Structure 1
Amino acid sequence: MPLQQHHTPSTGPSRSLPFAGVTNFRDLGGYTGHGGQQVKWRRLFRSDHLAGLTAQDQALLADLGVARAVDFRGQAESAAYAYRLPGVAYHPLAIEPTVVQRALELQRTGRQLTAQDAVALMQETYRGFVHDNAPRFAELFRLLLASDAPTVFHCTAGKDRTGFAAALILLALGVPRDVVMHDYLLTNALYQRPPGMGSQAPEEVLRVLWRVQEEFLDAALHTVDNDYGGVQTYLVDVLGVDAAAQKELAGRYLQP
């Protein structure tokens, strides 16, 4: 791939990519995993939804060699902003956006949502990823093991469903938790909330819902630790990524 040839290993390619139609598209490469090996650049990408890509964006996507898109959006979300990209296989792994539904239910009871409510809702959502949505994340690993063709996975904002997926992949590759958290929090520097989204709610609540906080990902990881005895057991027993599959994953996505 031409993009890889002009970069010295010391600096590595750019993590965030200059798309016009998305703001949170980035590469998971360059982090240090098992055995001091780096995650390969230009193989695994995470993003907000891809319906707004311009023709120039699509050319950049083709330059990156992206061959698969994994879409975690729920049915109404993906229907509202559908896309098809030439040469990119589309894999819908729907996870419904429960936090929005729960926020609406609370508002319907006449309760004004506070920032604290929003944090609690987000934490509940992340715990739900671990229990209720495990089959979707298991399927993601099956896809990654089937082929190491460059892949982008995304939801609507590329921060929660996508953030947990990215954390699982990096942890499976042996990237330390503090580095995984750092990658997760990059959303706050990159993602730009679309104008007019959720304008009924107070701004302090929107700031919680449209950003990420350590407490969100921690809620999921603590659930993994407390309910399953850690990431390793969760990968093997719940997601079906056994020792052989983890070795295969490392072989595909870590730089020898």
Structure 2
Amino acid sequence: MTPASHSAPHRLLPSASNFRDLGGHVGADGRRVRRGRVYRSDHLAGLTATDLQTLQGLGLTHRIDFRGTAECAALPCEIAGIVSLPLSIEPTVVQRVLALVDEGTVPTEAQAVALMCDTYRGFVREGAPVYARFFRHFVEHPTPVVFHCTAGKDRTGFGAALLLGALGVAREDIVQDYLLTNQFYQRSPLVQARGPAHVMDVLWSVRPAFLEAAFDAIEQDFGSLERYLQGPMGLGPREQAQLRASLLES
């Protein structure tokens, strides 16, 4: 990523370790993604009073929540003045790891990486209707929004990658933005997760291979990201123009 493309985010909300503004990247026609319009985050359930006040001062109208039912119940997150939009994608990878352990098989690091890659392929295929609703929200509501899951790295990371791709951001910049999670995310003491340490180290990080698995699945099934966006995501020329008009600088 070139220095001119996007500056590393500062800790706007210290109590939400993976909260950041997606603005600043160079998109279609050299136009930058607007700052102060789209934020990505982890669960937002442990905000300090100061950070909550900062969040409420950002002008957000909606909070898109990719977490599953049990995750939302364990860490409820309702923020006054911000409409909640649940777009649930139930987590599966930790459950798959624990099932293997219960059967007497401790996954290797390579097997954990393979499980994560498979999870990302699932975002592309089984998760397509959810991400289509995600895009529909941006087209219908051109107002500031934050979207998140529990760690803000996988379901959120794929959503951010798709959104930046639709805005014409270069693939290398999309990957670099995705990898910032490894710099900013800290495991929350509020999130309960168990498993072998070497496996959990994989599951609580992001790697280029995870996102590459998703893009490879898109290209395998649809030929290109553009066709995936126009097809399952519902972003035809009119919708894509609306999205770019809303989220790219003039």
TM-score higher than 0.5:
yes
1:99 match: 93
Specify every segment of 5 or more residues in structure 2 that has no aligned partner in the other structure, as ranges.
Answer: none
Task: Give % identity.
Answer: 47
The whole-number CA distance in structure 2 between the counterparts of 1:57 and 1:112 is: 40
Counterpart Cα distance in 1 of 2:179 and 2:60: 24
Any idea what SS the aligned residue of 1:251 has? Answer: helix
Counterpart CA distance in 2 for 1:196 and 1:109 is: 28
The 5 A counterparts of 1:1-256 are 15-195=9-189, 200-256=194-250
Q: Map Cα deviations across residues 85-131 of structure 1 (whole Å, 9 max, x no partner).
A: 01000000000111112111111211012211110110000000000
**Equivalent residue pairs, number:** 247
Judging changes above 3 Å, is the alpha-carbon distance between structure 1 residues 106 and 12 closer, same or farther for their aligned structure 2 residues? closer
**Contact residue 16 and residue 25 of structure 1 kept, 8 A:** no
AA of the residue aligned to 1:233: R
* d(CA) in 1 for partners of 2:242, 2:196: 47
Residues 149 and 197 (structure 1), Cα distance of their counterparts in 2 relative to 1, 3 Å cut: closer
Aligned AA (1:146): E
Structure-2 change in CA distance of 1:229 and 1:14 (3 Å): closer
C-alpha separation in 2, matches of 1:225 and 1:136? 19
**What is the DSSP-based 3-state SS (H/G/I as helix, E as strand, rest coil) of the residue aligned with 2:16?**
coil
Shift of 1:17: 3.4
Structure 1 residue ranges without an equivalent (≥5):
1-9
Residue 249 of structure 1 aligns with an amino acid whose one-letter code is: L
The alignment yields a C-alpha RMSD, in angstroms, of: 1.8
- What is the DSSP-based 3-state SS (H/G/I as helix, E as strand, rest coil) of the residue aligned with 2:151? coil
Residues 163-198 of structure 1: per-residue CA shift (max 9 Å, x gap): 000000000000000000000000000000124966
Taking the aligned partners of 1:12 and 1:117, their CA distance within structure 2 comes to 34
User: Which residue type is aligned with residue 168 of structure 1?
Assistant: L
Mapped contact 1:13–1:41 kept (Cα < 8 A): no
Residue by residue over 1:14-58, the C-alpha shift from the partner in whole angstroms, topping out at 9 and shown as x without a partner, is 733331321000000000000000000000000000111122111
User: More displaced, 70-79 or 102-111?
Assistant: 102-111
Q: Is the 8 A contact 1:23 1:48 kept in 2?
A: yes
Going from structure 1 to structure 2, the CA distance change for 1:67 and 1:196 (only over 3 Å counts) comes to closer
User: What is the rounded CA distance, in whole Å, between the counterparts of 2:171 and 2:44 in structure 1?
Assistant: 28
Taking structure 1 as reference, are residues 196 and 138 closer, same or farther at Cα in structure 2, changes over 3 Å only?
closer
| SS of residue matched to 1:159 | coil
TM-score relative to the length of structure 1: 0.92
1:113–1:201 contact (8 Å) kept in structure 2: no
State how far apart, in whole Å, the 2-side matches of 1:140 and 1:16 are.
26
> What TM-score do the two structures reach when normalised by structure 2?
0.94
